Amino acid sequence: MNRGFPALFLAGIASMVFLAAATTQAGLQEGIRAYRAADYRSAMKELKVSADNGDEEAQYHIGMMYQSGQGVPQDYKAAFEWFQKAARQGHTGAQHNLGVLYENGQGIARDFKAASMWYLKAAEKGYAASQYNFGMMYFDGRGVPQDYNAALKWYLKSADQGYAASQYILGVLYYKGRGVPQSYKSAMTWFQRSAQQGNPRAQHYLGVMYENGEGVSEDNKSAAQWYLKAADQGNTASQYLVGLMFVSGKGVPADRVASYKWLSLAATGGVKEAREQAQKIEGKMSPEELETARLMVKVWLTMHK
């Protein structure tokens, strides 16, 4: 009897399995490269094979494409199904995104308890966005009992990893004394960390604190600088306040054109008082100044669509 045949047969099977796995892995890497290059059609083609073979990373990326409508029509139900496949295998990003879909009721009935459960799974593995979201669930009492101490714990975990949204919310809590002792000094620290990452709400608060001398010496120049950073990102409160500073020359040189620009943008964003102030400034402007200011508003709106 030929005893070599079974061994050769098994070796052949093993070789085929190895080749299939290598092919799947190569397809996964090609798919991810295509995804990062925004070639979503090629990405879907490559990733689908790996996803159907159970690869959690491919499943996650396909979920992302359906969630955002990248290369496919936006489909939250399909996103949910792919994220669920990956999340059940322990993919952290997919677990977080499942929490988001449950929280927002996208592709599945809204379920704060389920959202909290998935956020917790990702948060416990150090996923900063989930730590922040889970903290928010505790703060608002959605899906879990309201617990400010638990919320603070998760905010701190996330903020310590540099997550700007958590740093901002900690600044707000210390600024207002909600769940923690009121402290302008601590608020300033967290706002600065968040603002330096470009968070416009934190930048706005820094402007307020410098203008009012809260936790720091009053410094209108610094206030205007932070307002401008936030204003240029569309923060209407900062647009309004820096517009007023340009009217009076507080912290910046008085400038009717600049004041009209920022007050008009704030008014466009829904700040009623800004519209009234812009109308007052308009009556003092020359036709040339008004034309320039209106052009600046138009350009800003075009660039920030």
Consecutive H or E run containing 83: helix 76-88
Higher pLDDT, 4 or 236: 236
13 in a structural domain: yes
60 in a structural domain: yes
238 in a structural domain: no
* Residue 75, token pair as written in the block: 């489909």
Mean pLDDT of the chain: 92
41 in a structural domain: yes
CA distance 132 to 177: 19
User: What pLDDT does residue 93 have?
Assistant: 97
Q: Buried b / exposed e across 259-297, counting CB within 10 Å, b at 16+?
A: bbbbbbbbbbeebeebeebbeebbeebeeebbebbeebb
24 in a structural domain: yes
Cβ atoms of 261 and 297 within 8 Å: the answer is: yes
Nearest residue to 177 (alpha-carbon basis) of 167, 189, 186, 168: 186
Contacts of 93 (CB under 8 A, 6+ apart): 60, 86, 122, 127
86 in a structural domain: yes
Domain count, the chain: 1
Residue-wise pLDDT for 264-302, tens only, equals 999 999 999 999 999 999 999 999 999 999 999 999 999
pLDDT at 75 over 60: yes
CA distance 28 to 15: 20
User: What pLDDT does residue 194 have?
Assistant: 98
User: Residue 257: left if φ>0, alpha if ψ -120 to 50, beta else—which one?
Assistant: alpha
**Model confidence, pTM:** 0.85
Contacts of 100 (CB under 8 A, 6+ apart): 106, 115, 133
**Mean pLDDT for the stretch of residues 62-85:** 96
Burial class (CB in 10 A: 0-12, 13-18, 19+), 49: middle
Residue-wise pLDDT for 183-215, tens only, equals 999 999 999 999 999 999 999 999 999 999 999
Phi first, then psi: what are they for 214, rounded to 5°? -100, 105
pLDDT confidence bin for 57, thresholds 50/70/90: very high
At 70, which CATH number?
Answer: 1.25.40.10
95 in a structural domain: yes
Residue 141: how many other CB atoms lie within 10 Å: 13
User: What pLDDT does residue 19 have?
Assistant: 42
Alpha carbon distances (Å) from 64 to 39, 81, 93: 14, 11, 10
pLDDT confidence bin for 28, thresholds 50/70/90: confident
285 in a structural domain: no
Residue-wise pLDDT for 163-179, tens only, equals 999 999 999 999 999 98
**Mean pLDDT for the stretch of residues 9-26:** 51
pLDDT confidence bin for 1, thresholds 50/70/90: very low
pLDDT at 137 over 80: yes
Residue ranges making up the domain that contains 69: 1-110
Residue 21: how many other CB atoms lie within 10 Å: 11
